Amino acid sequence: MKTTQLLLAAAGIVTAAAAHADTITDIVNSGPAFGGYYYSDTTLEWSHAPILDSFQSATLTIDALDVEFDAVPPEQDRVSVFDDDLGWIVLGYLNGPPSGSSTVFDLSSSLFDDIATGLMVKIDINVGTTAVDYAMTLNRSTLTVSNPDTPPSIPEPGTLALAGLGLGALALGRRRQGT
């Protein structure tokens, strides 16, 4: 390995330790479920990337267009997630104005293991309102997990030793280049 690569590797380890974030976000906004205009009784389904870090709370935010939850009868776009123990569980319905809505659902701890393997989500468009044919467009699904107990980020002794190893290798490389 070249000395520059060693130095970069050492720097990368330190950066990774310092950048331990309080929240992790996974956004899905592409694929067959997104961007189209879909009518009643259509089911849109997608998956989030696995989140392997530990966390203590999680939310799912769905951004959509043309959700007429305030209409009479209301458009009922039902959001469900897959729990490995319980199967599909209903979180609730999209809410907000047709011009653009952002609906946030809290995810229970029984879903944390499913988040770790990649949370599966689906929307059943306008269920239970057979009198009216509504449609909507799904724009984005945002999965956010947070760990409020994350301690202040201090590089561990092992990390510092590794960084020192990288710098030492750099010095050794320079000496060799000099001879």
State which of residues 60, 63, 105, 114 lies at the interface with Ca ion (CB under 5 A).
114
Q: Mention every residue, 6+ apart, whose C-beta is less than 8 A from residue 166.
A: 6, 7, 9, 10, 11, 13
State which of residues 41, 70, 106, 113 lies at the interface with Ca ion (CB under 5 A).
113
Give 164: exposed, middle or buried? Use CB within 10 Å, 0-12, 13-18, 19+: exposed
| Cα Rg of the chain (Å, integer) | 23
- Say whether residue 66 binds Ca ion (CB under 5 A): yes
- Say whether residue 83 binds Ca ion (CB under 5 A): yes
Which residue is listed with tokens 């990288």? 166
State which of residues 68, 93, 115, 163 lies at the interface with Ca ion (CB under 5 A).
68
Binding window for Ca ion (CB under 5 A); candidates: 33-41, 45-53, 54-62, 106-114: 106-114
**Residues interacting with Ca ion, by CB under 5 A?**
66, 68, 75, 83-85, 110, 113-114, 134, 136
